[in-house]
Structures are given as structure tokens and as C-alpha cells.
């Protein structure tokens, strides 16, 4: 690795560090051999002399606090009722009406007009929209929601769409539980390239799962099997870091963690993390013994030096 180099023969690791392109390609070949026959192999190309690598990047969840999912995609909009609405309820909506709807209509005369207005809103919506139940986004209370009626779609196909939109490592989005904590160590992935910085990868991951919390609240950490933990800086490139640390995720993983709850763990500290308490106590005892020996050694050295200085002072006094 070299610093302050920007020639076409080098690839940036951060804003101030570079690696030889040939060295990175060699590491990439090893990486792809490890993932041979799997979807995690990386592709590379060159654009105007710059090497660009792209593919799937695995990221493990390492959160301690719950996260909140958006209850409505940003691209969705509320459709206001038109100026005139049909007096009769369409037949396909009559079939889909639940017993609760019928019960409300029977008991409350005013509810019939509200239902008709709601039908008008749904019928005015374009057919191209996603045909699954959608929720109005709310940040205050996940239970206070406005639900739009589903348009006709085969049950199996609708379930497939919901699963694709709301699943996070086996957790399927529940309208009443939009706040949850992903299982620690569970792995997801995003498609990235070697030019994407840490902040860009964070943004991509959070947008993929419609997480309301902003990227500034999170950080990516390189976590070693030994317990060593290093934070990826905003100017670094996570895909390049993954290649540099090798393909084996049993040895090194990239974790998503809270920015304010996580901290770096240096190698000197990490080597003691997995020891049991009795072993750590014995290490502390040995360090205390070594400290006492050093104190005695320094004290004796100081006393000898002090004695020498006093003897010299006496000689100077006698000489006068």
C-alpha cells in the first residue's frame, strides 16, 4: 500500500491510501476462487483507466437498539377523493368488504357515505400502482395507521410481493411492529461497487429495507475472529476493504453497528477478550508483580544516584 499516489496503476483504498492495481487484481482472483460457483463472485472492468469492481457485499447486523421501518415507501402518494363520486358501491368491492364493514354500515348511517368516498378514492388510483396493502407513514404510533384497500391479485402473488418488500433475515414486516431489532449476526447483502464510500453503502443498505433512521446514526466495522474491531472511515471503500481482508467471513466480517454505542478494539486488547476470568486475574497478578519489581529497581537506581551526588558535594566542600 502506498500513500499520496494517484496514478492509473493504483487503486484508492481511502482518500490518502492506494494499492497497486496488479496487487488488488491478484487478491480479487483469490476472492473469486473462494466463491467459485456462488453469486458472491465479483466482476471488474476499467473505465478511463480506472479499475471498478462490483458485486454483492455481505453485511452482518450488529445493532443493540431497535430500528424503525418506514410504513410507506417514499414514492407512494395519497390519492384525494374526486369532485364527484359514484353513488353505488362497485360489485368487486362488495365482495371484498369485511363483516366489520357491514356491521359499521348497519349501525352508523353516516358511515355509508364515508365508505362511498373511500371507494371513490380507490377507484381513482392508477392501475400501475403496487397492488398490496399500503400504510400511511407515521413516526409517532405504529398502531395509528390508514390502510388502503388492496386491488385484485392472486393471493400467492400478493404474498410474494409482501415477502420481497418487508422481509429482513426472516422477519416479515408487521404493520403493528414496525420497530424491531434484527437478530445479532444475521447477514444481509447489497450490490455495490469499489467506488462507493462507507456512507454511500450505509445509505444503500438502509434504503433497501426502508429504515427511517439516517446513515449518520450507524457505522460499518471490520470485526475479526479474535475480537479486534476497526471502524471504516467515511472516506474508505467497503468493497475494497472486504477484498483486502480476504473472502472468509469466519475470520473477518463487516458489521453494521450504532455509531454512538460501538468503539474500536485494538489487537492488543482483543487478544485478551476470549479468556476466562480466572485467567485474566492471573494475568493481572503477574502484571502487578512485574510492576512491583520495576518500582524496586527504579528506587534502588535513584538511591544509588542520590548517594553519588551527595558524595560529590562533600568532596567539593572539602576542596574549598
**Closest by Cα among 19, 12, 41, 18 to 29:** 41
Confidence of residue 136 (pLDDT cuts 50, 70, 90): very low
Q: Is the pLDDT of residue 201 over 60?
A: yes
Q: Say what the pLDDT of residue 289 is.
A: 94
- Asked if 196 and 238 count as a contact pair (C-beta separation under 8 A), the reply is yes
| pLDDT (average), residues 288-302 | 95
- Asked if 252 and 225 count as a contact pair (C-beta separation under 8 A), the reply is yes
Q: Got the DSSP string for 33-99? A: HHTTTSTT--EEEEETTEEEEEEEEEEEE--SS-EEB-SS-TT--PPPPPSS--SS--HHHHHH--H
| pLDDT (average), residues 276-285 | 88
Q: Say what the pLDDT of residue 125 is.
A: 43
Q: Say what the pLDDT of residue 157 is.
A: 60
φ/ψ of residue 238, rounded to 5:
-55, -40
Q: Could you read off the pLDDT of 87-96 as tens digits, one per residue?
A: 444 444 444 4
C-alpha cell at 207: 434504503
Q: Say what the pLDDT of residue 133 is.
A: 35
Average pLDDT, the chain: 75
Q: Could you read off the pLDDT of 107-132 as tens digits, one per residue?
A: 444 444 444 444 344 444 443 443 33
261-174-213 Cα angle (round to 5)? 30
C-alpha cell at 154: 392472486
**Closest by Cα among 25, 3, 26 to 14:** 3
Torsion of CA 152, 154, 157, 158, to 10 degrees: 40
Percent of the chain residues past pLDDT 70, beyond the cut: 64
**Closest by Cα among 184, 263, 251, 190 to 224:** 251
Determine the Cα–Cα distance for residues 271 and 280; give it in Å rounded to an integer.
Answer: 11
| pLDDT (average), residues 20-45 | 94
Q: Is the pLDDT of residue 242 over 70?
A: yes
Identify the weakest region by mean pLDDT among 5-14, 75-84, 255-264, 275-284: 75-84
219-190-154 Cα angle (round to 5)? 130
Confidence of residue 80 (pLDDT cuts 50, 70, 90): very low
Q: Is the pLDDT of residue 54 over 60?
A: yes
Amino acid at each position: 500500500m502506498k500513500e499520496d499516489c494517484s496514478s492509473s496503476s493504483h487503486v484508492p483504498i481511502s482518500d490518502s491510501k492506494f494499492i497497486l492495481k496488479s496487487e488488488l487484481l491478484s487478491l480479487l482472483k483469490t476472492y473469486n476462487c473462494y466463491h467459485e460457483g456462488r453469486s458472491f463472485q465479483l466482476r471488474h472492468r476499467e473505465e478511463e483507466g480506472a479499475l471498478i469492481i462490483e458485486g454483492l457485499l455481505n453485511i452482518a447486523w450488529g445493532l443493540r437498539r431497535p430500528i424503525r421501518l418506514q410504513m410507506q415507501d417514499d414514492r407512494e402518494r395519497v390519492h384525494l377523493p374526486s369532485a364527484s363520486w359514484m353513488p353505488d358501491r362497485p360489485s368487486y368491492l362488495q365482495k371484498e368488504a369485511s363483516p366489520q364493514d357491514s356491521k359499521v354500515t348497519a349501525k352508523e348511517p353516516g358511515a355509508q357515505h364515508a365508505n362511498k368516498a373511500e371507494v371513490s378514492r380507490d377507484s381513482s388510483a392508477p392501475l400501475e400502482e403496487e397492488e398490496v396493502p399500503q400504510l400511511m407513514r407515521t413516526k409517532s404510533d405504529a398502531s395509528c395507521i390508514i390502510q388502503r384497500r388492496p386491488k385484485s391479485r392472486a393471493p400467492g402473488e400478493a404474498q410474494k410481493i409482501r415477502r420481497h418488500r418487508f422481509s429482513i433475515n426472516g422477519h416479515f414486516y408487521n404493520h403493528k411492529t414496525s420497530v424491531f431489532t434484527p437478530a445479532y449476526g444475521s447477514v444481509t447483502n447489497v450490490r455495490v461497487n469499489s467506488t462507493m464510500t462507507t456512507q454511500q453503502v450505509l445509505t444503500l443498505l438502509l434504503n433497501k429495507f426502508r429504515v427511517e433512521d439516517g446513515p449518520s446514526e450507524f457505522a460499518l466495522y471490520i470485526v475479526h475472529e479474535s475480537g479486534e474491531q476497526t471502524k471504516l472511515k467515511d472516506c474508505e471503500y467497503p468493497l475494497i476493504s472486504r477484498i483486502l481482508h480476504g473472502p472468509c467471513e469466519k475470520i473477518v466480517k463487516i458489521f453494521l453497528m450504532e455509531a454512538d454505542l460501538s468503539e474500536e478494539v485494538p489487537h492488543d486488547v482483543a487478544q485478551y477478550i476470549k479468556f476466562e476470568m480466572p485467567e485474566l486475574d492471573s494475568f493481572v497478578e503477574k502484571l502487578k508483580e512485574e510492576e512491583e519489581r520495576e518500582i524496586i529497581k527504579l528506587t534502588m537506581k535513584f538511591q544509588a544516584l542520590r548517594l553519588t551526588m551527595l558524595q560529590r558535594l562533600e568532596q567539593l566542600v572539602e576542596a574549598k
